[in-house]
A and B are shown apart, each in its own frame.
Chain A
Amino acid sequence: MREGMLSRLGLSTTQTKGSLAGWIIALLPLSFFVFFCTLIEPVAMGEPIRISYPWIPSLGVELSFLIDGLSLLFALIISGVGTFIIIYAGGYLAGHHQIGHMYTYLILFMISMLGLVLSDNIISLFVFWELTSITSYLLIGFKHEYQDSRYSALQALLVTGAGGLVLLAGLILLGVVGGSWQLSELFGRGEAIQDHELYLPMLILVLIGAFTKSAQFPFHFWLPNAMAAPTPVSAYLHSATMVKAGVFLLARLTPVLGGTSTWFFILTIVGGITMVMGAFLAIFRTDLKSILAYTTINGLGTLVFLLGLGTELAIEAAIVFLMVHSLYKGALFMVAGSVDHETGTRDIRELGGLGKYMPITAVAGGLAALSMMGMPPFLGFVGKEIIYKSAFGVAEHHMFLIMLAVLAMAFVGKVLTGVSAGLVTVSPFLGSKTTTPKNPHEAPISMWLGPVVLSALGLLLGLSVAFSKGLQDMIVAPAMGAVLHEHEVHAKLALWYGTEPETLMVFGLSMLTIVAAIGIYIRGRGTFASISQRVTMPWNAEQGYQFALNGMQSLARWQTRVLQHGYLQGYLLVVAMTLAGFGGLAFFSQVGLVAPVWSPQFPMVHEWLIAGMMLVATVLTIRLDSLLGAIVALGVVGYAVALIFILYAAPDLAITQFSIETLTVILFVLVLYRRQTITHLLEEEIARDSPAKRIRDLLIAGSVGVFITSIMLAITSEPLVSELKHFFAEESVPHGKGHNVVNVILIDFRGLDTMGEITVLGVAAIGVYSLIKLWFARDAENNTS
């Protein structure tokens, strides 16, 4: 008996298996929703609630929450819609092997989104902002084995992520200029901030962040692509909640940044373009989700547009439209998903007459579409009327022409949205049945519950306006108060405002919208699809994105080829040039040429001889073609240095130098004869030389030499003042117990250095031993195999 009832409701046992988890997990958002409901009255009646925990006091970051009318409204939408989305996802993805990931990401997203809207601290707000981008990335890429999903996920992440970084800069400027990271403190400092010279850059940075997130022109292109995500994700993130984060931020910051003419023009122009463009492009789509995505762009544009107008009426319109949009769009997305799920296609050209087979889904879709069209007595109608009212109201503040433009944009947007409403519901559900990949039947309860509740709410809330002030006083007015940062704000919602000329005009326009929409739909529905291929934007922002991305990658490849070319000689050249360049710059700007100060007597003949020997040997080292000869010549340079040590009374050093030079030459010769590879490597480098390169090398080597010599001359031009020499000389015998100062320095005064150097030698020995041993082992292996 129970089983039968369940299956009649669409809850057959097989489906229960997958979706039961959804019902249970949905209790979490549901409990959030109930909790937020209990806050409605206290917030509406009294002061906003602030809760604050210290998080990172070193950086002034608090985990603080501000629950006022605005954030509460968003929180209600997020948790309310979230409840149905989780349930829906359980049905939609029943049996999917990664359904657990879906639940996890959705819940993570919901928490991030709640954190975003409830944050009082702008840095913690940003933290949550980024988290929504990341969870969105994971959710768009849910079908991760499809190239398409990965591409769209990355695109959304890059666009919103880049916007996020720009926003971060804007928020930091805001915090620095405003002197606080708390929104609640910044609200009162709007004027000071707007007078600051950094206001304009700050505003633009914040706006770019908000526009990318909320898919405003020209950053809108990622949103339609994000439809690669499974439908519950599209319904939740990409229509009802995440994409509204940008709108939320603009509303939140209105008291701080809003109200200037820059704000007005940027927001109304960008919002207006987005609104009209989204609505226009929507009607030429044939994919249900794609139509809905473009109408979402239209909705987001409308919200930005209204916030830009910034009058009390416009804010009221924005708040109401926000609710309207979340309700009908969430419902319609879920309906589209159900259609797709039950028929196997989302193409409206292949769909028709589904009403008979999916009656509940069809009713839900119909109700939502009526609200979308703005049919009385739906909430959509209420919202549309206030939008027109606020458009008329522009005349009080601005020129008549601006008002006309505003009104025209709003009207066109609304009419075209109405057409889309027809496309997504009338076309699939009415008319004659078509053949679809799957045989249609009603979706399970988990998948129709959400659409039914959300779309019914659109009707009930609309009706409630007629006989109750609950909505306007408890929800709309507190939210408006938060945006306008005023306590005494009155909202007025009604289905019928009376018979004054202005209200009649609004009503007439509202009716005209519906008539026009129906007219265009009936005349055009057949032709839209057929010309859809031809309707593209002359300049497509996505091409710009692709161009930038490809350009960046070619630049990266080119740069890496040029810099990391693989030739050691080239690397050394760059190092030498850097040394001569930066060093020369520093030396000649800070010190200048210093005349050499000769030591008491002019250098003697034998000193000249030694110098000459070094010079000749150096030239030979460079010029000789034979490696062996070059090495011997290099040894001569070393011997000459040792001679200088002898001249300056440092026999220990000279002896060391002699032995090292001798050993080096012997080792080099041994290596060159034993290991052909190394010889080969070196000769390869030499073979690349040409006269021009040699001249270049000479110049670079010469400038390094000049630089180092100049410093040496400068240093020796002043006598060295150091206590060290005396200390070592005096302490050597009494405390160091040694008559050879150099020895005492090596083993006592600076014994630690010597220990380190001994270690170096030991390691070198291990290295040589291992290298040879392993190499021989490998050679032997190669020979046997």
Chain B
Amino acid sequence: MNNLLFMPIVIPLITAICLILLWRQRVIQRLVSLVGCVSLFLAAALLFSFVAPGNVLAIQAANWPAPFGITLVADTFSALMVLVAAFMGLSVAIYSLATLDPERESFGYHPLYHIMLMGVCGAFLTGDMFNMYVWYEVMLISSFVLLTLGGERSQLEGGVKYVTLNLLASTLFLIATGMLYGTMGTLNLADLGERMRQPETLSDLQLGLMTTLPILYLLAFGIKSALFPLFFWLPASYHTPPIHVTAIFSALLTKVGIYSLVRVFTLVFIADTDFTHTILLVIAGLTMITGVLGAVAQMEMRRLLSFHIVSQIGYLLMGLGLFSPLSLAGTVFFMVHVILAKSALFLVGGVLHRVAGTYDLKKLGGFYRSSIMLSILFFLPAFSLAGIPPLSGFWAKFALVRAGLELGQYAIVTAALAVSILTLFSMTKIWAEAFWKAQPPGKVQVDADQISRTLASGQTALPLLLPIVVIAALMVIIGVAADPVLAISQQAANQLLDPTDYINVVLHESASLANSP
């Protein structure tokens, strides 16, 4: 059963290999790609069902015992992330059936997509710092090629910024990992975690370095997750590729960065949390504020939404910085919420673009009058993102704000609430411009007929709308019936704050299941 841990890595890999063998066979490729996504989702669901009761699963690659080989571990947080990633992978794969152009499809879009999913799942599941670096490389190269595939000038310009800054992050990651090994003599996360929990066995120098190295990791992961002041690559590149690529990037890439930050700053870098986690809080606040202000200044939907990714990352980091059971639960819940909300918004944006031919809010308009369904599909994720109850975003925000107030961290709470109203402001901007406003005179006439014609051509309505409908429904369900997801988030948070099971399963009883109390 522990072999299940390999599945989220192996399934996308095999799918990608098949897809490469089927180069240019576009119809069969689509089929294989979908089968791969469904299998990945099922495997992720199965894995999650084993972990959800509170178990931690681990497996040692090639059976070399930890810390010598590479360990894969799934606790509640990582299994949940794999599940969400697989779900998004499937949803966007379905959506892209309608938006893919033959050119990109013929030049490896499908295999690249699956390799990216492999990298994402690998990063979620690995229990080894260097192995995590490898998965980051896999993600970086596949996302870079996906980003620039098509070779439009704007794509290349965005791509150069993307790859340069991200390579810098990788370099830092690698340097830091070398230094970490030089300091602690191990790169197994559980092993590191166990040693850090016996500070009496460490020298002063080691303890000091274990408060310095986190900064290097904060920068490396911080670039990946687009924190202030390292986020430049994101708004510079995310609006350049086709919308389904942006949607899956926004759902997964920055979130892996945050996942890794949460993992290492709960498991390993706990030597001086007053110091490190205060820095995290400061960065969290600045990320929220600069991100949302960036969004406020935009009139192009994709750019606006891209800046919001940055802003929301600040909330995720806030939960980590506060470092309490409730705040971490808030981060986990927020992660699920924001992945859903953000991708839904990009996907709806893609539909608007398809109908009206533009992402420019000045040129859009008239969608409320012509399509109440699209209006609802935008309204739910948009207002969920703004934290309006009873949608999912509210509970995420509530948990974080409550945790902040309980800890007396009033500055970050003030920032979180202020950013929340600005988020509402920029969401209503899209709503007022693209939906409420009458359509400005232009080439394309947006009316109900035109919408149904556009969506009906080439049977695109189903792949375009089905993922959005499902995601929007999930936002409502997670909002109105928040308890199951919150309970899982709290379980994840408790495991993060007390990784005894995680450490034991990896180091001491890897072959068996551990039942948490």
Distance in Å: Cβ of B33 to nearest Cβ of chain A:
15
Distance in Å: Cβ of A470 to nearest Cβ of chain B:
38
B30 in the interface (beta carbon within 8 A): no
Q: Is the CB of B164 within 8 A of A572?
A: yes
Given A563-B294, A568-B160, A763-B142: A770 and B389 interface contact (C-beta under 8 Å): no
Q: Per-position contact with B for A100-142: 1 when CB-CB < 8 Å, else 0?
A: 0100000000000000000000010011001100100100010
Within 8 A of A (CB), among B58-80: 61-62, 64, 67-70
Given A556-B294, A586-B214: A150 and B483 interface contact (C-beta under 8 Å): no
A603 in the interface (beta carbon within 8 A): no
Q: Is the CB of A720 within 8 A of B182?
A: yes
A116 CA to B32 CA, complexed, in Å:
51
Distance in Å: Cβ of B52 to nearest Cβ of chain A:
15
Q: Is the CB of B395 within 8 A of A766?
A: no
Given A172-B402, A571-B233, A752-B70: A59 and B395 interface contact (C-beta under 8 Å): yes
A756 CA to B170 CA, complexed, in Å:
15
A574 CA to B295 CA, complexed, in Å:
21
Q: Is the CB of A774 within 8 A of B232?
A: no
A560 in the interface (beta carbon within 8 A): yes
Q: Per-position contact with B for A39-57: 1 when CB-CB < 8 Å, else 0?
A: 0000000000000000111
A589 CA to B223 CA, complexed, in Å:
24
B179 in the interface (beta carbon within 8 A): yes
Taking CB as reference atom, which chain A residue is nearest B208?
A591
A130 CA to B388 CA, complexed, in Å:
7
Q: Is the CB of B211 within 8 A of A750?
A: no
Distance in Å: Cβ of A528 to nearest Cβ of chain B:
35
A778 CA to B103 CA, complexed, in Å:
11
Residues of B contacting A158 in the complex (Cβ-Cβ under 8 angstroms): 421, 424-425
Residues of B contacting A563 in the complex (Cβ-Cβ under 8 angstroms): 229, 232, 290, 294
A679 in the interface (beta carbon within 8 A): no
A32 in the interface (beta carbon within 8 A): no
Within 8 Å by CB of B402, from A176, A564, A760, A771, lies A176
Residues of A contacting B94 in the complex (Cβ-Cβ under 8 angstroms): none
Q: Is the CB of A168 within 8 A of B401?
A: yes
A728 CA to B219 CA, complexed, in Å:
32
Q: Is the CB of A578 within 8 A of B230?
A: yes
Q: Is the CB of A166 within 8 A of B417?
A: yes
Distance in Å: Cβ of B388 to nearest Cβ of chain A:
6
A144 in the interface (beta carbon within 8 A): yes
Residues of B contacting A757 in the complex (Cβ-Cβ under 8 angstroms): 134, 137
A723 CA to B111 CA, complexed, in Å:
39
Q: Is the CB of B182 within 8 A of A749?
A: no
Q: Is the CB of A590 within 8 A of B62?
A: no
Q: Is the CB of B436 within 8 A of A141?
A: yes
B135 in the interface (beta carbon within 8 A): yes
Given A582-B219, A591-B205, A724-B67: A753 and B131 interface contact (C-beta under 8 Å): yes
Given A169-B417, A771-B151: A714 and B296 interface contact (C-beta under 8 Å): no
Within 8 A of A (CB), among B368-420: 368-369, 372, 383, 388-390, 394-395, 398-399, 401-402, 405-406, 413, 417-418, 420
B497 in the interface (beta carbon within 8 A): no
Within 8 Å by CB of B141, from A723, A731, A767, A773, lies A767
Q: Is the CB of B148 within 8 A of A767?
A: yes
Most buried by A among B103, B112, B145, B435: B145
- Count A interface residues, CB 8 Å: 99
B297 in the interface (beta carbon within 8 A): yes
Residues of B contacting A722 in the complex (Cβ-Cβ under 8 angstroms): 181, 185-186
A589 CA to B275 CA, complexed, in Å:
10
A715 CA to B290 CA, complexed, in Å:
36
Distance in Å: Cβ of B146 to nearest Cβ of chain A:
9
Residues of B contacting A101 in the complex (Cβ-Cβ under 8 angstroms): 372
Q: Is the CB of B211 within 8 A of A560?
A: no
A159 CA to B216 CA, complexed, in Å:
42
Taking CB as reference atom, which chain A residue is nearest B6?
A752
A749 CA to B134 CA, complexed, in Å:
15
A432 in the interface (beta carbon within 8 A): no
A262 in the interface (beta carbon within 8 A): no
A144 CA to B367 CA, complexed, in Å:
11
Given A748-B62, A759-B13, A760-B141: A711 and B296 interface contact (C-beta under 8 Å): no
Taking CB as reference atom, which chain A residue is nearest B422?
A552
Q: Per-position contact with A for B181-208: 1 when CB-CB < 8 Å, else 0?
A: 1110110000000000000000101111
A583 in the interface (beta carbon within 8 A): yes
Q: Is the CB of B68 within 8 A of A173?
A: no
Distance in Å: Cβ of B17 to nearest Cβ of chain A:
9
Residues of B contacting A659 in the complex (Cβ-Cβ under 8 angstroms): none
Q: Is the CB of B236 within 8 A of A58?
A: no
A760 CA to B167 CA, complexed, in Å:
13
Distance in Å: Cβ of A228 to nearest Cβ of chain B:
13
Q: Is the CB of B185 within 8 A of A711?
A: no
Residues of B contacting A555 in the complex (Cβ-Cβ under 8 angstroms): 293
Q: Per-position contact with B for A507-520: 1 when CB-CB < 8 Å, else 0?
A: 00000000000000
A557 CA to B406 CA, complexed, in Å:
35
Within 8 Å by CB of A590, from B153, B181, B212, B223, lies B212
A764 in the interface (beta carbon within 8 A): yes
Distance in Å: Cβ of A108 to nearest Cβ of chain B:
12
Most buried by A among B181, B209, B438: B209
Taking CB as reference atom, which chain B residue is nearest A682?
B160
Q: Per-position contact with A for B420-433: 1 when CB-CB < 8 Å, else 0?
A: 11101100100010
A127 CA to B185 CA, complexed, in Å:
51
Q: Is the CB of A724 within 8 A of B185?
A: yes
Residues of A contacting B103 in the complex (Cβ-Cβ under 8 angstroms): 774, 777
Q: Is the CB of A711 within 8 A of B209?
A: yes
Q: Is the CB of B294 within 8 A of A168?
A: no
B165 in the interface (beta carbon within 8 A): yes
Distance in Å: Cβ of B416 to nearest Cβ of chain A:
9
A153 CA to B435 CA, complexed, in Å:
14
A619 CA to B422 CA, complexed, in Å:
48
A585 CA to B276 CA, complexed, in Å:
11
Q: Is the CB of A778 within 8 A of B122?
A: no
Q: Is the CB of A578 within 8 A of B432?
A: no
Within 8 Å by CB of B368, from A56, A144, A566, A575, lies A144
Most buried by B among A161, A556, A748: A556
A721 in the interface (beta carbon within 8 A): yes
Q: Is the CB of B296 within 8 A of A552?
A: yes
A532 in the interface (beta carbon within 8 A): no
Given A150-B436, A757-B134: A714 and B209 interface contact (C-beta under 8 Å): yes
Within 8 A of A (CB), among B260-293: 272, 275-276, 279, 290, 293
23 example contacts (A-B, Cβ-Cβ < 8 A) are as follows A56-B482, A130-B388, A131-B390, A141-B436, A165-B417, A172-B401, A563-B229, A568-B164, A571-B232, A575-B168, A575-B219, A578-B229, A582-B218, A583-B215, A720-B185, A724-B186, A750-B130, A753-B70, A760-B141, A763-B138, A767-B145, A771-B149, A771-B151
Top 8 A-B residue pairs of the complex, sorted by shortest distance between their CB atoms: A722-B185, A767-B145, A144-B436, A770-B107, A756-B134, A591-B208, A127-B389, A556-B296
**Further 7 A-B residue pairs, CB within 8 A, beyond A145-B436, A586-B211, A720-B185:** A158-B421, A169-B413, A176-B402, A590-B211, A748-B62, A751-B61, A763-B145
